[in-house]
Structure 1
Amino acid sequence: MKKAPPFLNRHGQVQCLFTAALASLLVLGTARLVLDGLKNSHSPVLQLLSRRNPVRLPVNVSDEDVVEVGCNVFEGKWVWDNGSYPLYTEESCQFLVKQVTCQRNGRPDALYQNWRWQPNTCKLPRFNALKLLEVLRDKRLMFVGDSIQRGMFESMVCLVQSVIPDGKKSLQRVPPRKIFTAKDYNATIEYFWAPFVVESNSDNAINHTVRKRLVKLDSIAKHGKQWESVDILVFESYIWWMYKPQINATLGYPYNVQEYKVTTAYRLAMETWARWLEDRINPHSQKVYFMSMSPTHLWSWEWKHGSKGNCFNESHPIQGPYWGTGSNLEIMGIVRDVLGQLQIDATLLNITQLSEFRKDGHTSVYGERRGRLLTKEQRADPKNFADCIHWCLPGVPDTWNEILYAHVLQDYRSRKIKPPPAPAPAPARHKT
């Protein structure tokens, strides 16, 4: 057989190389399209993959995601940090209500957004929205309480929503609940209006302003029906109890209204709540937290001797030891007693002391009063109209959620490490 001429061999080699190069380009191009598609949440590639085989990342909870053993995160100081904080802005979170958007409402300074809580002996883990959402996959997280707790709910929504594509997140108002849904995670972050935790005549989430507050100290079943299937419950109840030294309440007989000392009524209500937890909560699948009281800053003489104002026009935290009269030590003791006697695990998140320093973080005259923004004349009268109870967002409640985040991830890791409880032995069978 005749050999092919040399130039034909070279031509064949070139053709083979060209074919191989073209095939490589096609493979690389296809891979690039797939990768670009994965980056784009709206791409047909990602939608096709998510329909056929949803991507579920393993949740790796490292030591950096949790608090060091033995560290008390509630003891520390506020440090200035305008590089890492705020964790979001009013503009970046569409779910904030007017009550908390102090910048939008005319507050001239934004310094309150740039303070970071630094525990004395450790670091507070950096909030990771994607990691939290993976931990919350197929779960419900619910905040239960008054408008302070609603602010914490809105803070948590703002902390996670930025990593969720448009069209994959929603907020529903189903009084007494608000429900934020992360669709791809089948997860919800919810808020439940219950200012006294137990039932009362102020339980209407929209119209709860009543002339005489009446608390049903031993009634909680109606609320509890909506809590039973929730995976993570975060309770809070304080400021609504402190309206007057006494409060009207019923106990045992629904029509027998008596006047109780507030601290006595509070203990009875907390004991009712504790009994409900022990009866209805599954400690192997559900987790319970209780937020300590959110402090008020109604009288500036407490941190500035001789002054006659309140939190209005304050721009820096209080330095050094401080405990204001707006935080009731007897109430704090009741919370500790009740939680200490519980037969199931419930974690106290003691945010009171760290929040005591933040006289600058309140909405002051840059919020709402009875659903309406303050008028120009009302803003000019901060002595009577400044709100030194609620908090601006971004702000102090974000730190509360950073602490909650660390606890949730710690609990997730401990549940993964700890083996599930052994099944009960089968009953012995007797021969008949």
Structure 2
Amino acid sequence: MTTLPSPDRHNQYLLPAALALLIFIGCLRIVLDNSKNTRLFFRLAGGGYRVLRRPIRVSKDEIIEKGCDIFDGKWVWDNLSHPLYTEKSCPLLVKQVTCLKNGRPDSYYQNWKWQPDGCNLPRFNALKLLEILRDKRLMLVGDSVQRGMFDSMVCLVQSVIPEGKKSLKRVPPRKIFRAEEYNASIEYYWAPFLVESISDHATNHTVLKRLVRLDSISNHSKQWEGVDFLVFESYVWWMYKPTINATYGNLNNIQEYNVTKAYKIALETWANWIDTSINSHNQKVFFMTMSPTHLWNWEWKTGDGGNCFGETQPIQHPYWGTGSNLDVMGIVKDVLERLRVNVRVLNITQMSEYRKDGHASIYGERKGKLLTKEQRLDPKNYADCIHWCLPGVPDTWNEILYGVLLQDYRKF
């Protein structure tokens, strides 16, 4: 007699198959859901999950051609793709840079794109940058010009991050923007001379009586340790006078130094820290060259004793103003070439030289307050031809930094 399989024996095969199917569907759903955020979750043997990055796809038009100097080019009018954000779309902007809101009558300065000769910069992609920065820290170190670059970077990425998943904190001398889902931070650190000085307080820093410690950097460098991407800048604060008071070794021995000599000693102190403290396998270091000033309009036209006030167009011919010190450029080149650690130069000086139109002028702040009506009527004395409006020139500096980081990511 043939014995038919009992229902119980049949079920013992169906149940494991059904469970396997459910587990497969569940895993597939996790993969599909999280692929939207370009990440995968894998269960660890000991419990919990590990997040793995999905590779960023880098297309051909995002590749900077070999041998192309991205710092050599010209500004071209582009009111279709630029600006990359607006004052209204970035509520985190400070009053010092919101020139339109502060009364500037034109917005042309927002619509210029940097076009390198013979190649293209990759278009800025906030999601790709955040993926590059996942589980990492990017810190911009320097003075208020560098703070403008920080503000620009925050504006470039913040719009793609949902509310509640981003934050901006002020922890003097730092400002910290966090993208929570990426466990990433973009930070700014106030160090106008890189070495220590009596101007190191983030908000209450003296201007008239500057004193620097040319051999001391430890208080600052403690905040830089372990940061994945460091971008340094220091220039404008050195240029207040031809000489500067400084100490070296003995705090009580204050001497007057020629500015370029003091700058060289200070940069060597910084370079020694770079060589002895940076792990080039885990950390990348950049140095941003001088951000030019446009204090005298006779340098680019038949001037009337004015400055950057009223300028609405970039300079379209070869130009190098007295606001950029060639001796300082030479010092930077010499010191960086002697480093054992690779420090990449972001040579933004020449491209920014052309942008006499991009400064805050009378549409910014002085000592934390917007200019009064009377002050605005006196642009020769009150126009700010050092800092930049946003959106504006610092966005291009960040586009270049992003392009370099993307290249590094692709090679890795």
The 5-angstrom pairing of residues 146-185 of structure 1 reads 146-185=143-182
Deviation of residue 252 (structure 1)? 1.5
Match of 1:307 among 297, 301, 304: 304
Secondary structure of the equivalent of 1:160? helix
After superposition, the Cα gap between the structure-2 partners of 1:349 and 1:300, relative to the gap in structure 1 and judged at 3 Å, is same
Could you tell me which residue of structure 1 aligns to residue 280 of structure 2? 283
The 5-angstrom pairing of residues 222-237 of structure 1 reads 222-237=219-234
Distance 2:163 2:239 in 1: 41
Deviation of residue 61 (structure 1)? 3.1
Deviation of residue 227 (structure 1)? 0.2
The 5-angstrom pairing of residues 309-328 of structure 1 reads 309-328=306-325
Q: In the alignment, is residue 97 of structure 1 matched against residue 94 of structure 2?
A: yes
Secondary structure of the equivalent of 1:294? coil
Could you tell me which residue of structure 2 aligns to residue 76 of structure 1? 73
Secondary structure of the equivalent of 1:180? strand
The 5-angstrom pairing of residues 402-421 of structure 1 reads 402-414=399-411, 416=412
Secondary structure of the equivalent of 2:231? strand
Secondary structure of the equivalent of 1:260? strand
After superposition, the Cα gap between the structure-2 partners of 1:219 and 1:285, relative to the gap in structure 1 and judged at 3 Å, is same
Distance 1:302 1:193 in 2: 31
Q: In the alignment, is residue 239 of structure 1 matched against residue 236 of structure 2?
A: yes
Q: In the alignment, is residue 367 of structure 1 matched against residue 364 of structure 2?
A: yes
Deviation of residue 165 (structure 1)? 0.4
Could you tell me which residue of structure 2 aligns to residue 64 of structure 1? 61
Q: Give the conservation status (yes or no) of the 8 Å contact 2:137–2:228.
A: yes
* Amino acid aligned to 2:242: P
Deviation of residue 38 (structure 1)? 8.2
The 5-angstrom pairing of residues 329-408 of structure 1 reads 329-408=326-405
Distance 1:210 1:108 in 2: 31
Deviation of residue 300 (structure 1)? 0.4
Structure with greater Cα Rg: 1
Match of 1:259 among 237, 256, 259: 256
Q: Give the conservation status (yes or no) of the 8 Å contact 2:143–2:192.
A: yes
* Amino acid aligned to 1:153: F
Structure 1 runs (4+) deviating above 4 angstroms are 33-41, 51-56
Deviation of residue 52 (structure 1)? 7.1
Q: Deviations over 1:86-121 (max 9, x none)?
A: 000000011110000000100010000000000111
* Amino acid aligned to 1:189: I
Secondary structure of the equivalent of 2:345? strand
After superposition, the Cα gap between the structure-2 partners of 1:284 and 1:34, relative to the gap in structure 1 and judged at 3 Å, is closer
Distance 2:35 2:260 in 1: 55
After superposition, the Cα gap between the structure-2 partners of 1:374 and 1:274, relative to the gap in structure 1 and judged at 3 Å, is same
Distance 1:228 1:53 in 2: 26
Distance 2:299 2:388 in 1: 19
Deviation of residue 59 (structure 1)? 1.8
Q: Give the conservation status (yes or no) of the 8 Å contact 1:88–1:159.
A: yes
The 5-angstrom pairing of residues 121-160 of structure 1 reads 121-160=118-157
Distance 1:207 1:77 in 2: 38
Identity %: 70
Q: Give the conservation status (yes or no) of the 8 Å contact 2:198–2:206.
A: no
Task: Using structure 1 for the length normalisation, give the TM-score.
Answer: 0.84
Match of 2:269 among 262, 267, 272: 272
Deviation of residue 279 (structure 1)? 0.6
Secondary structure of the equivalent of 2:332? helix
Could you tell me which residue of structure 1 aligns to residue 9 of structure 2? none
Match of 2:195 among 178, 193, 198: 198
After superposition, the Cα gap between the structure-2 partners of 1:338 and 1:38, relative to the gap in structure 1 and judged at 3 Å, is closer
Deviation of residue 218 (structure 1)? 0.5
* Amino acid aligned to 1:139: K
After superposition, the Cα gap between the structure-2 partners of 1:224 and 1:53, relative to the gap in structure 1 and judged at 3 Å, is closer
Q: Give the conservation status (yes or no) of the 8 Å contact 1:214–1:248.
A: yes
Q: In the alignment, is residue 218 of structure 1 matched against residue 215 of structure 2?
A: yes
Q: State the aligned residue count.
A: 376
* Amino acid aligned to 2:375: Q
Distance 2:341 2:393 in 1: 29
* Amino acid aligned to 1:373: L
- Mark the runs of 5 or more structure 1 residues left unpaired by the alignment: 1-32, 42-50, 417-432
Task: Using structure 2 for the length normalisation, give the TM-score.
Answer: 0.88
Distance 2:229 2:50 in 1: 28
Could you tell me which residue of structure 2 aligns to residue 15 of structure 1? none
Q: In the alignment, is residue 109 of structure 1 matched against residue 106 of structure 2?
A: yes
Distance 2:378 2:193 in 1: 31
Deviation of residue 412 (structure 1)? 2.0
